[in-house]
Amino acid sequence: MIVAMGRWAPDASGRLAQAAMALYAEQGFEKTTAAEIAARAGLTERTFFRHFADKREVLFYGNDSLQDMLTGAIAGAPPDATAMDAVGAALQVTGAMIEESPDLARLRNEIVSANAELRERELTKMAGLAAAMAGALRERGVPDPAASLAAETGIAVFRVAFARWISGAGQSDLPAILRGSVEQLRSVLAGAGQA
C-alpha cells in the first residue's frame, strides 16, 4: 500500500503515478478516477491535473526521459558503430531500465493491452521514439533513409523482444533477449542477401 504524504512533499508526479498504478491493479483502469488517484497520493485532484492531463497520461509518465535515454545512448555509441549497433546500444539501456521495475512494466503492459485507446496511444509513443532515434542517428551522420530504417527496425526489435519477455517464455533477462533479437535480425538480413 502507498502511504499518503503531505500535499507539498516532493515528487508529486511520481507519487501520483505510483498511486495510479496501485489503483489500476486493485480496481482496474476504467473504474479508477483522477480524484481517487490524487487521494491515494495524498494530493488534491487539482494537483493531479497540474501534472497529468488525464488518467491515461499516467501510463506514459517518463516518456521524455525514455526518449532522452534512447537518443543519449545513440549519441554515446562509439564513433565507428554502425547505425544498428547504435540502436542496439540504445535498446540495451532501455531494457536495463525496464528490468529495474519488472512488475510495474508487466502491470503497465497488461493495462495498456486491455484498452484499445491506450494501445493506440502506445503506438503513437513508439512512433515518436522512432522519430527521435532517427534524429539522433542523423546527428551521427547516418543519412536517410538509413537512419529512419534503423530506428524503425529498432522499435520493431524492441516490441518483439518485449513481448517475449513479458510472456515469460524462455529468458527473464530483457537485455539478453534484446541482444539475441538484434543478432537474429542480422542473421535474417544476411540470409536475405543469399536468396
State the CATH number of the domain containing residue 47: 1.10.10.60
Domain of residue 37 covers 12-58
Q: Is the peptide bond before 145 cis (omega within 30 degrees of 0)?
A: yes
37 neighbors 26 (Cβ within 8 angstroms): no
Q: How many CB atoms lie within 10 A of CB 187?
A: 10
* Judgement on whether residues 41 and 133 belong to the same structural domain of the protein: no
DSSP for 50-108?
HH-SSTTGGGGTTHHHHHHHHHHHHHTS-TT--HHHHHHHHHHHHHHHHHTSHHHHHHH
Asked if 109 and 47 sit in the same domain, the reply is no
- 118/48 same-domain check: no
Measured at the alpha carbon of residue 48, what is the angle toward residues 44 and 52, in degrees to the nearest 5? Answer: 175
Quick check: pTM over 0.95? no
CATH number at residue 167: 1.10.357.10
- What number is the average pLDDT over the span 165-189? 84
**48, part of any domain:** yes
pLDDT, tens digit, for every residue of 55-73? 999 998 888 889 999 999 9
Report d(CA 170, CA 142) in Å as an integer.
Answer: 35
**170 plus 109 within the same structural domain:** yes
Cβ of 54: how many Cβ atoms within 10 Å? 9
pLDDT (tens digit, 9 = 90+) per residue, 127-168?
Answer: 999 999 999 999 999 999 999 999 999 999 999 999 999 887
Could you tell me if residue 144 is inside a domain?
yes
pLDDT(10) > 70: no
Residues 99 and 168 in one domain: yes
**pLDDT, tens digit, for every residue of 83-132?**
999 999 999 999 999 988 888 888 899 999 988 999 999 999 999 999 99
With respect to residue 125, please indicate whether it lies within any of the assigned structural domains: yes
Tally of domains in the chain:
2
